[in-house]
Structure 1
Amino acid sequence: MTTPKPASARSVRSSMPSGCAANASWVLPPSSATCSAIDCSGPAQEALLPMSPMSNPAGLALLAAAALLSGCAGKSPATAGVRAPPWQTVIRDADRKRLAGLWGAWTRSLADVQQAGQGDRVGALGAMAVADAAIPAPPPPPGAYRCRSVKMGNREDGTIRTPSPPIMAGEFRPCRISVRKGLLHFDQGDGAQRVAGALYPDGDRQVFLGAMALAGESGIMAYGTDADRDQVGVLRALDDRRWRLELPWPMWQSNLQVIEIVPA
């Protein structure tokens, strides 16, 4: 086996994070022989294993590289500026748990509907009522839309305990997407129970933090004003002109509320 020639110290320092290169006084072998000193798997690892690091200059350099890189890991520019999504700093702890239970809200609600013998009503809704039907796509742009609300599941706890069917689908009504303070904002418009709130970017979805108003109320409170009215969920795309807002455990009548959003 041919031992590769060491790389120059200059080439090693140039590939290191700033703050680490200044402390590098060792010479690192080429990446093909050291697995880049980070990911040691594959043929390069097999070539190094038979040798004792203490008897091989390349092995000593590898050990020094690993030690120095681990000591500088916290200073990497790639991670120093990483922050939690803005919604993480706004959401209440109780609502964080509700949001984490989104999949459970789907499975339980669909099971309730099937158990009641109304599975055909779910089928009639198409992709809107399929838990994993969402696709990666941009959010709806600001403008006028039409929305309808579907409530599913037998609510057994919550602020108001109103006996209701396991699935209720409303009619399409005007709704709107606007921009407020740099964030998309959803407003359901009208209805006996309507929601509105901010949409925070979070990967291929938008996290919704808002509140609900009842018929006759002129406005909707800001999120965090009244825990009984707060609504949380995610907005995801079903195709390039159709979206749904999924609200788990809404505390009013159902275990899951899904709002379909289509262009007006």
Structure 2
Amino acid sequence: MHTRFSKRVVVLGLLLMTAACGGARLDDAPVRAAADAAPPAGWRTVATEHDRDRLRRWRDAWMAALPPAQAAAPAAIREQGQLFHPDHALADPAPPPGRYRCRVFKLGAAGAAGLAFTPYPYFNCRVGDEGDVLSLFKETGSQRPVGLLFPDGPSRMIFLGTLALGDEQRALDYGQDRDRDMAGVLERVGERRWRLSLPWPRFESQLDVVELIPAP
């Protein structure tokens, strides 16, 4: 297991629990201590082999998931503009720390009985500055991604994290459960709009696309 990254994900999981119960701040001492305990590392030294493979096949996921989604909901896909253009990405991808409104679109069915396009309503999430990396987590809900954003070139960042479910009070350590591990590509697609693409998720879809816009 990658111990340094694991320490940071555990602390972020605890922060997620606190935020869901009443509003933790990302500049709290526990997060700073976690960052101090975990010197910077490139995402390739942190990611599991399974997640490195998913990220290598990121574009394959778009090519598999987008056509059936367009066939199932053409107006909804067109309405989102550049969000669903896989080759559209602007420079300076890092989102400023703060609160965001986020929503998930599931594209491509993972099984024969699944839906090709499923949109979900907005939820609250937060981006934090951990020094050499950023943190990203969903504050409420039954499925709560929590993880870190690593620099990866001029137009994208890499997200690695885990999925907290139900009433769990902390996130699993990254790499402990492949079904919970998450890996994706974060890009800026508008002046104040970001897209996190999660290829080949474990459940339901072939590609999850998370839109992030700053909260008012």
Match in the other structure for 2:151 = 201
Q: Distance in 1 between matches of 2:142 and 2:205?
A: 15
Would the aligned equivalents of 1:152 and 1:257 in 2 still touch at CA under 8 Å? yes
Aligned length: 174
Q: CA deviation at 1:127?
A: 1.5
Match in the other structure for 2:162 = 211
Task: Give me the TM-score of the superposition, normalised by structure 1.
Answer: 0.62
Q: CA deviation at 1:181?
A: 5.8
- CA RMSD after TM alignment: 1.7
SS in 2 for 1:255: strand
Which segments of 5 or more consecutive residues in structure 2 lack a partner in the other structure? Answer: 1-40
1:246 aligns with 2:193: no
Which segments of 5 or more consecutive residues in structure 1 lack a partner in the other structure? Answer: 1-84
Match in the other structure for 1:78 = none
Q: Distance in 2 between matches of 1:136 and 1:201?
A: 12
1:178 aligns with 2:128: yes
More strand by share: 2
Q: Distance in 2 between matches of 1:215 and 1:201?
A: 30
Asked which structure has the greater CA Rg, the reply is: 1
Amino acid of the structure 1 residue aligned with 2:42: P
1:87 aligns with 2:43: yes
Higher relative contact order, structure no. (Cα contacts within 8 Å, ≥ 6 residues apart): 2
Would the aligned equivalents of 1:150 and 1:170 in 2 still touch at CA under 8 Å? yes
Would the aligned equivalents of 1:143 and 1:177 in 2 still touch at CA under 8 Å? yes
Match in the other structure for 2:54 = 98
Match in the other structure for 1:110 = 66
Q: Distance in 2 between matches of 1:114 and 1:138?
A: 26
Task: Give me the TM-score of the superposition, normalised by structure 2.
Answer: 0.75
TM superposition outliers: structure 1 runs of 4+ over 4 Å: none
Alignment map for 1:231-242 (pairs within 5 Å): 231-242=182-193
Would the aligned equivalents of 1:197 and 1:222 in 2 still touch at CA under 8 Å? no
Alignment map for 1:10-49 (pairs within 5 Å): none
Q: CA deviation at 1:226?
A: 1.1
Q: Choose which of 147, 162, 165 in structure 1 pairs with 2:102.
A: 147
Match in the other structure for 1:69 = none
- Residue identity (%): 39
SS in 1 for 2:168: coil
Q: Distance in 2 between matches of 1:147 and 1:227?
A: 24
Q: Distance in 1 between matches of 2:206 and 2:93?
A: 27
